[in-house]
Amino acid sequence: MLGRDIELALLCDVARCEPAAALDALGPAVEAGLVRETGLASWAFSHMLVKETLYRDLRPAQRAELHGRAGRALEAMRTAQDRPLARIGHHFLLAAPGGHADKAVAYEREAGRDAHSRLAYEDAAFHFRRALDALDLGSRDEQVCVELSLELGESLRCAGDMTAALEVFDRASGVARAIGDHALLARAADGYAASQQNVIDPNVVERLDEALAVLPERNTALHARLLARLARALTFSPDWQRPEDVGREAVAIAKRLADPATLALVMNARRWSMRFAGAEETLGISTEAVEAAEAAGDGAMAAEARIWRACDLMGIGRMDEARAEIAEHERAAEALRQPWHHMIAVRFRAMLALLEGRFEEGEALVADALARAEAIGDQNGQLIHWIHLTVLRRDGGRYEECEPFARAIIQLWSWNPALRCALTLLLADVGREAEARAELDGLAKDDFAIIPPDLNRLTALANLSEACALLGHAAHAETLYRLLAPHAARNVVVAGPSICTGPVTRFLGMLAAAAGRFEEAFAHFDDALARCEQMRARPWIVYTREQYARALVRRGAPGDRARATAFASSALALASEIGMSANERRLVALLSGVDVRHPAEQK
């Protein structure tokens, strides 16, 4: 019952005998080959079957008594800092029927904390579960049960088992609610929300609202955390103002507390929930979150905040810095050993591969990202996968394959107009003009007021702008141009991270051309090409050159046909090189003079 290895000092303590008597007892076993000497005053069973057979011969009461002795002996033999926590916990757990349940709880809990601190999250969860088992064998304390469950849930979350973590936090909430411990109820809600990353879940909002309503102490770190979690959970809610208000309140409390760990979490959540803002403001918030997390020594939060900082840097074209942040996040993911961060790292690699036109590599990374998302129960995995596929399939001439999922997700999240904007572009791109126009007109009411001021706004406007230009809708083009123009210095980056669809000036160029303002269009296209070159965004170079060529042909001024041919020829060469088959077909037609229009313009 001491395990496969036998230490003389421990054996003497458990058997309550002198060393000479223990050596005499071991002699026949060594001679029979059942036990072998492994070192000075140490032995091991020759086979685990020998140990198991002898163990089964012990009566249950004997086993419990001997395990209790072993636990006490190990306690006495080592200092508090040097005790083998897991081993002692194991013995006291097996001795629990004989009255050692409290010690089993304490040591298994400490073993769990030790494992978690070493980033061994699965081991930590194992020990916390054993502590809960031991609690059931003694005088069960419901408060301790909730506290252990919260630690278990956190280890499961870090291990990437989000489904199990949510179940544990849910049970902890139930017990805390039953015993009327509002502080523990709030901590359980905090853990539940943390385990439901980036997902629209009414349960999260309901739990956080409940916890905030009964929170015993206000203006505390926990209060700020709950408000921040709530703001993030409300990011895509139909009530556009509430996440803004809740987020600002969380920031105010965190600033007063001057606690960097709380500030880091709050600012990261604020970056999710804030209303659509200028690029420098959003970058300032994500940077503050990173700096606060680093000041607090919170590597996991620093890595999470870097996700937004990388996207914000990409959004203003500071690509070298963005790539550096992505690399730093990947290093942190390796150090943290958290599957969720590994998944994000793969998404970033997929994002860069698609941006740079490395489609074969991108296809493999996109599949890897989805597999990792499904493995940890990330409910956003399918949506991010679809966003990735919209680039891969559009550039490969198979855009219509993305339609079924688009319609399914629109039906599920019918209140989210950003998804309808993506569908509108798809329909326009594949030449289904009537359907695309119907969608565009439905979204255009009151100057596209239906599009909320959330983090998807720029992406939604960009998708509508491209659809509008393809459809040649001059009136809507003027409105969309006015909405997009203030953001001309930005790139369109879809959160997740998922994709970057290039400079806003590409979309402004298309809109200006659709409205017949060709000189403005050409200036925007020139700017877009320069930005794409700087980003190494080869697919968007192809699109911009193609759209530039079409605008020149439409204007038809002296020299325009020659310039259009040059742009189209260079676009065709690049499209052929990186495998953009749909663009190749259109560009060949453009250069042959068969039809210079996009399919959507042929109606």
DSSP assignment of 65-131 equals: HHHHHHHHHHHHHS-GGG--HHHHHHHHHHHGGGTTHHHHHHHHHHHHHHHHHTT-HHHHHHHHHHH
Calpha distance 372→361 (Å, rounded): 17
Predicted pLDDT of residue 2: 65
Whether 338 and 124 have beta carbons less than 8 Å apart is answered as: no
Predicted pLDDT of residue 80: 65
Predicted pLDDT of residue 596: 45
In 244-390 the beta strands, taken as DSSP E runs, fall at: none
Predicted pLDDT of residue 594: 47
- For each of the domains in the chain, give its residue range(s) and CATH number, in order of start: 1-57 (1.10.10), 368-602 (1.25.40.10)
From the first residue on, what is the mean pLDDT of each consecutive set of 10 residues in the chain (603 residues)?
73 82 84 83 79 76 82 78 84 85 93 96 96 90 96 97 95 97 97 83 93 95 97 87 94 97 97 87 96 97 97 96 97 96 97 97 97 90 92 91 91 85 96 96 95 92 97 94 97 91 98 96 98 97 97 94 96 97 94 61 48
Instruction: State the first-to-last Cα distance of the chain, in angstroms, to the nearest integer.
Output: 82
Q: Please report, for the chain, how many H helices and E strands are present, in that order.
A: 31, 5
> Vertex 68, ends 64 and 70: CA angle to 5°?
120
Q: Is the bond into 539 cis (omega within 30 degrees of 0)?
A: no
Q: Which residues pair with 5 in a beta bridge?
A: 44
The pair phi, psi for residue 499, each rounded to 5°, is -145, 160
Predicted pLDDT of residue 327: 97
Calpha distance 228→208 (Å, rounded): 10
Predicted pLDDT of residue 603: 46
Residues 6 or more apart in contact with residue 481 via CB below 8 angstroms? 465, 508, 511, 512, 515
Q: Taking the mean position of all CA atoms in its chain, how far away is CA 455? A: 16
